[in-house]
Structure 1
Amino acid sequence: MPIFNCRTLWNVLPVAALWIGLSFLLVPVQAQPTALTRGDTTKPQMALIFTGHEYADGGDHIRQVLREQEVPGSFFFTGIFYERYAPLVQLLKADRHYLGAHSDHHLLYAPWSEQDSLLVTRDSFLRDLNANYVKMEKLGIARLEAPWFLPPYEWYNDSIVQWTADAGLQLINMTYGTLSHADYTTPDMPNYRSSAQIFQSILDYEAAQANGLNGFLLLLHIGTDPDRADKFYLHLEALIGELRERGYRLVTLQELFQND
């Protein structure tokens, strides 16, 4: 049995203290997860993202335009959408577009007036999210193939970002600045925007910003309420042409985030 006298202990303690201190430095610090809302702003490339829950009236037209223009799309659908519009989903899958989750029942996670508050618990959030992936898997979309999650209403807070990361997924959202997401509005809404206004807002933002639309995630809806007769998705081909004329490449999410 080793014998430690005071001199031995005096010599050992500083070494032990140093080792313990270094060990803390060697432990990796877990970074707070964040939402991805834009890619590299130095590169003239962007991604088109589409969400869907109740309506899919633009599905065939959007698919045709993307095929003809050879543009990749990223589609985020609720579980309800995956069940209701399975044939369309299979066509998009055959075209090799990204298919991701948008929650199962399109839950509102936080009040509109208090974004830092919550209307869901962690368990209810995860149950709903997992149900979305179960319905995707029934259509041959594996969870590992769909790591990006776009929250319903594009509305979330730090808790939702953390819970998404805990589920092994990455929360993404559209890039704000244009009115593209207003393509769902109907004439009776105070925030209604016509397709002409939406289109012009995209061009105006691009012209006014130093980095233009570099790294942008431009969000559109795959379908809208029948009360909106002015369908913005009918302008998709013209929009793609205009973006290309301005020097932008339309890329996949994987390419957009390849350095993240």
Structure 2
Amino acid sequence: MSELKQNYYGSLCTEMYEILHEQAPQDELDFYLSYAEKGKKILEPLCGSGRFLIPFLERGFDIFGMDLSEEMLGKLKRKAPNARVMQADIINFTVQEKFDYIFIPSGSISLFTDMSVCKGILQKMKELLAPGGKFVFAADTVFDRCSEDSGYQTSVSVKTKEGFDLLLKGKNHYDETSQTQFSPSIYELYNGAELLQSESMDFQTHLYRYGEMEAYLRECGFKSISTYSNYKKEPAVDDQCEMLIFECDI
């Protein structure tokens, strides 16, 4: 399965995501907003349903977004019809303009478990930066790996606005050699006991060790790299934190 289909957010996944994560966490949002400047061009690849992009837009920033999921972008456009977004995959994404600030929040870069693809994305982000531009993003760490499951278990149950029950069933396996977290999932929509719709997702993430991403960034030509352990910009010294946050200049 390709990296593009591997973590694709379909209709039921998008519906649950919107219910659980409609608003960006305030500390994370404030962190990414702190780099934004009026009059500067901003890009958010993997913008999803807009929980970060829309607050930037509401504050008057010049922001452009892209995402592969038609379902996620549909949610975004319903909330912000004037948002400048493109449906595309980050691997083949091309635009003519350069950006002063590019950010990828929420560890989304970890969705790319093929390291050659990941390096290609990092290289593309560097090419899309204007002179003096800044690239800021977060990656999941090995500290955040899930416990092993023997079979599918219901981990989340929510009510949709129509009153249906939307369930997430999943299981987890961590492969030490590839540092990949395998979390195949099944989303099920019920009206009482009646199954209305089912959707599977092959969810995988690469979990990073301290120093690993820094090496990839240097390989791609980034010169100045700062690594933080949290949104207060405390310097990271190891990977014993849920996320590593990277601030990169060219």
Calculate the TM-score normalised by the size of structure 1.
0.29
Larger RCO, structures 1/2 (Cα 8 Å, 6+ apart):
1
- Structure ranking higher in helix proportion: 1
